[in-house]
A and B are shown apart, each in its own frame.
Chain A
Amino acid sequence: MRPLTEEETKTMFEKLSKYIGENIKLLVDRPDGTYCFRLHKDRVYYMSEKILKLATNISRDKLVSVGTCFGKFTKTSKFRLHITALDFLAPYAKGFGVAAKSTQECRRVDPMSIVVFHQADVGEFIRNEDTLT
């Protein structure tokens, strides 16, 4: 396990900002405790410092996972975000939607066709309670 280097943090934040925009600082700087990102075997884990300190007692080859996995760095140092990060990204998401066409189709389509369905997810009614009615 090790903290991320500058470049790794940069690539990761760039990816995250595509989904939650500016709210990354709410992940970095939390009022309810110090949370940090750590890298273990090319995967980025998000955990509280308490868990981190406990995890230092486990040897590297026996350590499987710490906290929540946000994603991993590929062999060519690109950051791939994983579904396990959804819990943390959901509160700050810029928008929700379901893709209407596959990735390949989306590329070939004309400007007027539908690519995303804005179907409400379960939490949206609660999140936007004030604004909906």
Chain B
Amino acid sequence: MAECNVDELLAKAQQDEAEKLRSITVHKELDLEFDVGNLLAIDNNRIETRDFKGQNKEEFLRSLARDNTQLLINEIWKLPTERVEEVIVAKLPEPTTLLPREKRPPKAKPATKWEQFAKLKGIQKKKKTNLVWDENAKEWRRRWGYKRVKDDTKEWLIEVPENADPNEDQFAKRVTAKKERVAKNELNRLRNIARSQKGKVPGVGLTPTAQQSKDDLGRAVTVAKTSTASMGRFQDRLPKEKPAKNMGKKRKFEPLIGDFSNERQKQLELLKVLGNKTPKLDITKAVNKQMREEDREEAAAKYRKGAGKKGRKGNNMSGKGKGKGGKGKGVKGKGGKPGGGGGGGGGGKKRSKAGKH
């Protein structure tokens, strides 16, 4: 009787043990693949259709799920653990499965104006050091920023350049120049953004840059004039301001392969007109020429007079016809060099001037 009891007890104990072990050990033909980072376990074991077909479908599935989850948790227990606020936490490794993107990959940004230019010219970016050796301070200073090497604003003496107005404030000039540079940079940055997003940028000349050329200013003026309700028709003009030419409208040319015979006709007619035209008399040119001629003659006459007088005096002294020779020389020259006067003024002395005539 006791033996039976003992046997029974032993058997029961063994059974209990087996039960316990069973709860944490799972027997699988093929080992599972684990991606603990994603808490993923992949079971590639064959499933017997027999188990599925029977009435205990749910049972079978539940036990399968239980087994696999047990195996996954076994894996998690293998990881290094730490204690966070009385809770044992395992540190998960990096996930190994590649998940597809949630959103589309971003489009490449269009290159800025400088980047396009640099690419075209093959300019590489040169990495600059942050610190530069400053000889004056004998230490390493920043290239830019607080306590930089070359700080314009700290200069207490600025020389006034030769061609500048002495009353101009050079310090203020520096400050305004810097402001303009900053504004220009800002404008270019916005332009780059607008270009990349195909937004609208205010046209040329409307946002002022440091140095505005004559056409930029002109364009700005015309745009300002035409931005009224009546398109600038009743805007007053300055006394000497000319009405603006047609700006903004695209120039229209003849089509590239137009009517050839028509083109030829037009050109031949143009040639005929050119041929018939009498040579144009440019009035201003003609008048200037005439005035120059008259001035020249006057000057020549003066020297002639002067030369003549001096020549006569010389004649009395020497008795030679030197004066006339001198006169001739004077008239021939451009009137600038008193060659004749010099010759006549010699007064008997022989003077040969090999001047430029």
Contact = CB atoms under 8 A, between A and B. Distances in A.
B157 to A, nearest CB: 43
A56 interface: yes
Contacts of A53: 257
B260 A28 contact: no
A24 B256 CA distance: 22
A3 B258 contact: yes
A2 B264 contact: no
A interface bracket (residues with beta carbon within 8 Å of B): 20 to 34
A9 B260 CA distance: 15
B253 A2 contact: yes
B254 interface: yes
B270 interface: yes
A29 interface: yes
Interface string A1-24: 111011001100110010000101
* Size band of the interface chain B makes with A: 10 to 19
B253 A3 contact: yes
Interface string B75-86: 000000000000
Given A1-B256, A2-B254, A36 B271 contact: no
Given A25-B268, A56-B257, A3 B263 contact: yes
Interface in B248-299: 253-258, 260, 263-264, 267-268, 270-271, 274-275
A37 B86 CA distance: 93
Given A3-B263, A34-B264, A36-B263, A28 B271 contact: yes
A9 B254 contact: no
A115 interface: no
A49 interface: yes
A60 to B, nearest CB: 11
A28 B274 contact: no
Contacts of A14: 274
Contact of A17 (B260, B263, B268, B274): B274
Given A25-B268, A29-B264, A49-B260, A10 B274 contact: yes
A64 to B, nearest CB: 17
A29 B255 CA distance: 20
A111 B270 CA distance: 36
Given A2-B253, A2-B254, A3-B254, A24 B271 contact: yes
Contact of A2 (B256, B263, B274): B256
Residue with the greatest number of chain A CB neighbours at <10 A, chosen from B257, B267, B274: B267
Contacts of A25: 268, 271
Given A6-B270, A10-B270, A25-B271, 17 more contacts: A1-B256, A2-B253, A2-B254, A3-B256, A3-B263, A9-B270, A13-B274, A25-B268, A28-B267, A28-B268, A29-B264, A34-B260, A34-B264, A36-B263, A49-B257, A52-B256, A56-B257
